[in-house]
Amino acid sequence: MDSQSVNPQDVFRSHLPVGTSLIVIFVPSRDRNSQPIEQEYWVDEVLTTLGRLFRGATAYPRGQGIWRDDERGGTLVTEEPVIVFSYVSEADLTTNALSILYRPLSRMGREAYQGEIGVVIDGTYYGITEYVEE
């Protein structure tokens, strides 16, 4: 960028809320027993929830991952997670919104037999391990 102060919102003629916080959710491909899960269903659930709450979301194609299941003796589980992200305005990142987001993530953890559902908000990782019955 040049030496003058630049306001991208002005340059892009953007009048919508500026998304200042980044939420990232890892949608797994396998359960704790390394069995495939209905990943596309869960990707759609996460995209739909983020879209309703925060105006939109994007899913990256499958990546490669591995996680250590300490509750199962340190067993390593390889998988191909889909990474879903959303930029969120500060005004929309509320306790109520995160509580609504927690519901499908908790259901995914429970129904897809996960040890943990990974969520990153502004660079801080939150591993959801308690899955509440609805």
Range of the domain at 36: 18-122
Q: Answer whether residue 132 is part of any domain.
A: no
Q: Which residues contact 125 (CB under 8 A, 6 or more apart)?
A: 118, 119
CATH code: domain of residue 29 = 3.30.70.120
pLDDT at 3: 63
CA nearest neighbour of 27 among 73, 69, 82, 66: 82
Q: Answer whether residue 25 is part of any domain.
A: yes
Q: What pTM did the predictor assign? A: 0.87
Q: Which residues partner with 83 through β-bridges?
A: 26, 60
Distances (CA, A) of 60 to 19, 47, 64, 86: 19, 11, 12, 11
Q: Answer whether residue 59 is part of any domain.
A: yes
pLDDT at 14: 80
Q: Answer whether residue 130 is part of any domain.
A: no
Q: Answer whether residue 33 is part of any domain.
A: yes
Q: Answer whether residue 66 is part of any domain.
A: yes
Q: Answer whether residue 1 is part of any domain.
A: no
Letter for the amino acid at 3?
Answer: S
Number of domains in the chain: 1
Q: Are residues 100 and 39 in contact, defined by beta-carbon separation less than 8 angstroms?
A: no
pLDDT along the chain (134 residues), means of 10: 75 77 97 95 98 96 92 92 96 96 98 96 96 86
Token readout for 1 is: 């960028």
pLDDT at 20: 85
- Compute the distance between CA of residue 14 and CA of residue 119 in angstroms, rounded to an integer: 28
Q: Answer whether residue 38 is part of any domain.
A: yes
By three-state DSSP, how is residue 134 classified?
Answer: coil
